[in-house]
Structure 1
Amino acid sequence: MPSLVQSVDWTALTPVVIPAALAVAVLIADLFLPQGRKALLGWITVAGFLAAGLTLIPLRDGHRATFCQTGGTHCSYAADHFALVIQVLVLGGALLTALLSLASETAETAERAGTGETADSGEGPPSGEYWFLLLSSAAGAALLPASRDLATLLVALEVTTLPAFALVALRRGDKLAGEASLKFFLSSVTATAVSLLGISFVYAATGTLNLSGVAAGLAHPPPGLGGGIPAGQLDHLAKVGVALTLVGFAFKLAAAPFHFWVPDTYAGAPLPVAAYLSVVGKAAGFSGLILITVIAFRPYQDVWGPVTGVLAALTMTVGNVGALRQRPDSDRGAVRLLAWSSVGQAGYLLVPLAAASSTDDPAHTIGTTVAYALMYGVVNLGAFAVAALVTRTAPRGRITDYRGLYASRPLSALALGFFLLCLAGLPPGVIGLFAKVAVFSSAVGARHGWLAVIMAVNVVIALVYYLRWTALLFARGEGSGAAAGGGGARVVAGAPAGIVAPVRTPIGLAAAIALTAVAGIALSGAPQIVLRYAQGTLL
């Protein structure tokens, strides 16, 4: 019988430990800092995410594991290439979210100062709690791709999700945010319950929670399990458990038809939180789905492969059609369009996963999904950053507020146009085109031609709303100043009518836009580097 003594490699755990420890430190520091110095907590959070990201450099060889039984055959945490790439995306996305949050916090403070409100008037989110929740959620998201047993996987997923409920509703007095958080909470609780039931069935059929052990147990059920249940019925129990676990993760990923909470949640949440959910939350969920399908449920690929393919086709179609139907003059229309777009992009991410069920080299195919996720994360965060900039002077968040943005903020308009073209898969967004071609090729190479055709149709549908928004950036504005294109001006409280003052772009917001733009251009210049490294995942 193997020993239960576990070894601990703290170096491998640092990307998770730093955000988790810093979350506690920030919450304690919030008790002692005066109100005027609470902005320091935000910069400490930014520094913490940056430090956690730097700790990935010594782990880049991808051959470390910890919490292992003696002999190292079964480990609960593995810092392989797959985990490292997703952790780069998670920590980078959390860092950019923190920068966007600093900008939002500055704007709310200035707004309260201009209207004579106090810090306790109930308008903005409490600073200490906000950074604590963001750090806690990021720690869970960083843990999830390195998890190698079902228990750790589910705990990491819940640690990622539970703080996000509060982040959505943390802005006090906002009824829309409260409703958005409630929808998010109810759908997530349902998903967790379904996943737990599925995992319990899988455990009953295999006698283990380790991902590799589950795969071995599904392929060759160990004798004596199931309490005397016949082998045939035990196989049915395992298949039901696999199906329920997949359904639970589909809720978490907002895959259609389990996507209903996404548009309202994104529109009701603070804009940095919506950006976080669209990238970091989605990356965490997808990494979990990849681990349970490609590793744990590999013997049942004939069960989850077709299901994933149908989910991919349905998700991309529902997402793109929903984005196409968004009215340009509706309030929060820009965020809703990005929310529907994220649903459509989730469908593209599912395509290589469906193809992995029909190939002998799933690591190569999964690498395509990871590379696409990196592209999507960078450009989607960039689009949300520009949206945060425009919302500072056009708080209704309509798509028409972007008309003529190039006239008032040319660099921001060019950046947003680049991000939208990347999402559409058009030059000069080479990384978007490269990622879509790689995903399309994975479907064709795995003999999923029907899925490739549906993807091609959806790419054409998506071109309509991406190009329509891009063209609006360079159209002639209607009027001037703050009324045109969300320009860089704001009406001064108490000033004579028609007097506007320029709005400075906060350092954090400018840094977020610049970092995503530079990363997008760099990835467009050498997209093959990302794909080659990503295809070395799941060794």
Structure 2
Amino acid sequence: MTVDHLALLPLYWAAGTAVLALLVDLLAGRRAVTVAVTASGAALTGAAALWVGAGPDRASLCFDGCSYLATPYAGLMATLFALLTVGALGLAAPMLRDGPPPGEFCFLLACSMTGGVALGYAGDLVSLIVAVETLTLPLYVLVGLRGRRTADRAAAEGAVTFFVVSVAATAVALLGAALTYAATGSLRLSASSAAVSTILFPDATAPLAAVGATLLLAGLAFKVAAVPLHAWAPATYDAAPLPVAAYLSTASKLGGVVALVALWRTLPAERTGWTLAVLAAVTMTVGNLGALRQTRMVRLLAWSSVAQVGYLLAPLAALATAAGRADAVAAQARAAAIAYTIFFLVIEFGAFAAVTALRGPGRDGGDIAGYTGVARTRRALGAALALALVGLAGLPPGLAGLFGKATVIRALLDGGLAWLALLLALNVVIGLAYYLRLVTTLYLPPPAPADAPAATAPVVAWSVSAAIVVATATAVAVGFAPQLVFDLAALT
């Protein structure tokens, strides 16, 4: 077996950060030191991923194929997971004073980051599924940590719901992987992707591979909360501590998208994109319709994130549809998928950061009515939340969301999915109803002071939000900009 330790450097840093968090908590026993060491380790993990990704492509753990592939794309995904970890630590730092044990919290979060880092570099089905589960398993405990000290029954129920549904989805994905291996005789993602292409073909010669690939995709759809495997998300997000909900709503979506890209990136057939196109259409529609009825802040953001998953899946459908037909169209679809994913992560995390600062990291998101007049009484945080909501809606001055949706629609039109582009535009209009209603609520005359949200220290959430934006912009400039320039040049 060939092992390239330089290629494995980001994974070494991520796993070492988890171990170091436990050791520092054991030896120092100070919350600030444990959080600082974990955040530093996550930052170094992201730096290592960018450094390795800036060089030539590398492979490691190679024996009849490679299980670990270090590419610029993998480095960018690993960096995003590291940045989300730093952000979650910043939001959770005040909660760790009197809440969950800092060492336990930091260890679990670093373990989840390790799974996310490994996921971007996965080169076969085994490493892909192990990475997805390593990303997800620590989140079961993190969701219920608020209930540990406060006897919050909702937190325990949310954690159990997340656990049960996730275990079922994992079993389905493992069965799909086993059937795919039995049909193709290979665990490499390229062979698995070829097997997926048989799903929609009536003349398929490998029905076992088609069933296996269908089950595999169904299991992975849970990770991104795609319809019909989305019902767990609103209850779990609302039950979790706000910093954990912020990480869960972004990192799990990123992990699911990375896993789906790994399965679909080499598909040559045009008709295979219809599977993702239908999934994207149903997901964005159900998510937006569900968000219209919500009266609690986190539940609204959860249903909104389900709709955003539909927007994330749409360019992947265009990529699968355009594969093998036009290199320029496929390159544009790939760029749209990555760009919108990054925009979504930044804006979604910013929205949760603002809610965390307004409510406090140890509390839930509360009712939407409790945010009436917040932008008048706490102008900076109210404006930050309003800007994030406007960005998710795709309206100016939220230029990131506007640019992302425009890029996705253009990719769909060029990829021959005009009907999906039209449906996406209609869903954007539906989304305006609840996004603008919430923004209006923020600027209504405030209620009596006794009914206003409790004052908490906003400095941490504000600083973390700014750091996430700056660090993500740097990551994009270093790791993604050269490829984006190349893709755009190919269009001319």
Aligned to 2:451: 483
Aligned to 2:417: 448
Aligned to 1:493: none
Aligned to 1:267: 238
TM-score of the two chains, using structure 1 as the length reference: 0.82
Among 185, 190, 205, the residue aligned to 1:212: 190
**Residues in 2 aligned to 1:407 and 1:514: alpha-carbon distance in whole angstroms:** 22
Alignment of 1:136 with 2:111, yes or no, is: yes
Deviation, structure 1 residue 219: 8.9
For 1:163-216, what per-residue CA distance to the aligned partner results, in whole angstroms no more than 9, with x for missing partners?
A: 111111123022111111111111111111111111111111221111234457
2:93 aligned counterpart, secondary structure: helix
Deviation, structure 1 residue 299: 5.0
Among 2, 11, 26, the residue aligned to 1:6: 2
For 1:437-486, what per-residue CA distance to the aligned partner results, in whole angstroms no more than 9, with x for missing partners?
A: 11111111111122112111110010111111112222211123x533x2
Alignment of 1:508 with 2:471, yes or no, is: no
1:66 aligned counterpart, secondary structure: strand
**Residues in 2 aligned to 1:531 and 1:317: alpha-carbon distance in whole angstroms:** 32
**Residues in 2 aligned to 1:22 and 1:236: alpha-carbon distance in whole angstroms:** 44
Amino acid at match of 2:37: I
Amino acid at match of 2:353: A
Deviation, structure 1 residue 265: 0.3
1:326 aligned counterpart, secondary structure: coil
**Residues in 2 aligned to 1:531 and 1:465: alpha-carbon distance in whole angstroms:** 36
Amino acid at match of 2:422: V
Within-5 A mapping of 1:108-507: 109=98, 124-171=99-146, 172=148, 173-214=151-192, 235-295=206-266, 298-299=267-268, 302-303=271-272, 305-327=273-295, 333-359=296-322, 360=324, 361=327, 362-392=330-360, 397-480=366-449, 483-484=451-452, 486=453, 488=455, 503-505=456-458, 507=459
For 1:271-298, what per-residue CA distance to the aligned partner results, in whole angstroms no more than 9, with x for missing partners?
A: 1111111111110111001111223xx2
Alignment of 1:44 with 2:37, yes or no, is: yes
Amino acid at match of 1:83: A
**Residues in 2 aligned to 1:320 and 1:386: alpha-carbon distance in whole angstroms:** 22
Amino acid at match of 1:370: I
Structure 2 unaligned spans of 5+: none
Verify the 8 A CA contact 1:430 1:524 in the aligned structure 2: no
> Structure 1 residues 405 and 531 mapped into 2: Cα distance closer, same or farther (>3 Å)?
farther
> Structure 1 residues 524 and 242 mapped into 2: Cα distance closer, same or farther (>3 Å)?
closer
**Residues in 1 aligned to 2:420 and 2:110: alpha-carbon distance in whole angstroms:** 38
**Residues in 2 aligned to 1:178 and 1:449: alpha-carbon distance in whole angstroms:** 44
Deviation, structure 1 residue 68: 4.9
> Structure 1 residues 68 and 364 mapped into 2: Cα distance closer, same or farther (>3 Å)?
farther
Amino acid at match of 1:384: F
Alignment of 1:23 with 2:18, yes or no, is: yes
Verify the 8 A CA contact 1:378 1:519 in the aligned structure 2: no
Verify the 8 A CA contact 1:368 1:535 in the aligned structure 2: no
**Residues in 1 aligned to 2:485 and 2:290: alpha-carbon distance in whole angstroms:** 34
Deviation, structure 1 residue 50: 1.2
> Structure 1 residues 316 and 396 mapped into 2: Cα distance closer, same or farther (>3 Å)?
closer
1:251 aligned counterpart, secondary structure: helix
Within-5 A mapping of 1:64-143: 64-69=57-62, 74-106=65-97, 109=98, 124-143=99-118
2:59 aligned counterpart, secondary structure: strand
1:170 aligned counterpart, secondary structure: helix
Q: How many residues align?
A: 473
Verify the 8 A CA contact 2:14 2:117 in the aligned structure 1: no
**Residues in 2 aligned to 1:534 and 1:469: alpha-carbon distance in whole angstroms:** 40
Deviation, structure 1 residue 522: 9.4
Amino acid at match of 1:19: A
Verify the 8 A CA contact 2:290 2:303 in the aligned structure 1: yes
- Give 1 or 2: higher helix fraction: 2
Deviation, structure 1 residue 16: 2.0
Amino acid at match of 1:195: A
Q: Which of the pair has more CA radius of gyration?
A: 1
TM-score of the two chains, using structure 2 as the length reference: 0.89
Deviation, structure 1 residue 363: 4.2
2:237 aligned counterpart, secondary structure: helix
Verify the 8 A CA contact 1:169 1:177 in the aligned structure 2: yes
Amino acid at match of 2:136: T
Verify the 8 A CA contact 1:403 1:477 in the aligned structure 2: yes
Aligned to 1:117: none
**Residues in 1 aligned to 2:42 and 2:396: alpha-carbon distance in whole angstroms:** 32
Verify the 8 A CA contact 1:85 1:370 in the aligned structure 2: no
Verify the 8 A CA contact 2:8 2:60 in the aligned structure 1: no
2:68 aligned counterpart, secondary structure: strand
* Overall identity of the aligned pairs, in %: 39
> Structure 1 residues 60 and 67 mapped into 2: Cα distance closer, same or farther (>3 Å)?
closer
Amino acid at match of 1:154: I
Aligned alpha-carbon RMSD (Å)? 2.8
> Structure 1 residues 161 and 194 mapped into 2: Cα distance closer, same or farther (>3 Å)?
same
Amino acid at match of 1:320: N
Amino acid at match of 2:96: E
Verify the 8 A CA contact 2:277 2:420 in the aligned structure 1: yes
**Residues in 2 aligned to 1:134 and 1:33: alpha-carbon distance in whole angstroms:** 19
